[in-house]
Chains A and B, each alone.
Chain A
Amino acid sequence: SQKIEQNSEALNIQEGKTATLTCNYTNYSPAYLQWYRQDPGRGPVFLLLIRENEKEKRKERLKVTFDTTLKQSLFHITASQPADSATYLCALISGTYKYIFGTGTRLKVLA
């Protein structure tokens, strides 16, 4: 069956360090992979998209990698800040409409 896995355990890191979140998938051939941020009680907000033919994408302190051989995406936040604390969701876009969301990883950046 098709599956997306994100680490369900919360990730705690010290301020200033790099946070790395993982998204693994099976039985998909996604055209795109997206990362969203979700704060408690609010809707997800789009952060970054990476296409299947791209290895890496950057936006300010954010970096996403996409390895279609390993079927894995890594999401990095460099120089992390307490304001980065949130749940981060990965989403695969496969086919015309099919958005498949992971369950999210909760990140807590400690001051």
Chain B
Amino acid sequence: DADVTQTPRNRITKTGKRIMLECSQTKGHDRMYWYRQDPGLGLQLIYYSFDVKDINKGEISDGYSVSRQAQAKFSLSLESAIPNQTALYFCATSDHRDRGGETQYFGPGTRLLVL
């Protein structure tokens, strides 16, 4: 969905490097999420943010940190990348006012390879 963009789309890095994945949205949503997807494991929640001042850990936050720079921007950092962080990373947004049940809107994903 072009309303949710992620940069970079692909990244190769080495063990121990710090990297940042960025997410921007033009949907005007207040809630943003970071997930990782591994084959056979489905989507796992890393961090979520309900507004700029509210950041919460998800199921698998160890080794990751986030920053909500503005309502439209939510970045994910790997402080010291390790090979088992190789995965497909997705950013998603939702609107708490969505009476349809808070549909999540996903970005196109960032494919990360840690060597």
Contacts and interface: CB of A to CB of B under 8 A. Distances in A.
Interface of A: 4, 8, 31-32, 34, 36, 41-46, 49, 51, 89, 91, 93, 97, 99, 101-104
Given A44-B43, A89-B43, 13 more contacts: A32-B101, A32-B102, A42-B109, A43-B1, A43-B4, A44-B104, A44-B106, A46-B105, A49-B103, A93-B102, A97-B31, A99-B33, A99-B45
Contacts of A97: 31, 48, 50, 56
Contact of B41 (A34, A43, A93, A103): A103
Contact of A46 (B50, B104, B108): B104
Contact of A41 (B92, B103, B109): B109
A8 B40 contact: yes
Using C-beta atoms within 8 Å of the partner chain, give the interface range for chain B: 20 to 34
B40 A43 contact: no
Interface of B: 1, 4, 31, 33, 35, 40-43, 45, 48, 50, 56, 90, 92, 100-109, 111
Nearest to A101: B43
B109 A43 contact: yes
A32 B103 CA distance: 10
Contacts of A4: 42
B107 A43 contact: yes
Nearest to A90: B42
Nearest to B107: A43
B101 A45 contact: no
B108 A42 contact: yes
Contacts of B35: 101
13 contacts: A4-B42, A41-B109, A41-B111, A42-B109, A43-B1, A44-B43, A44-B104, A49-B100, A91-B104, A93-B101, A97-B50, A102-B42, A103-B40
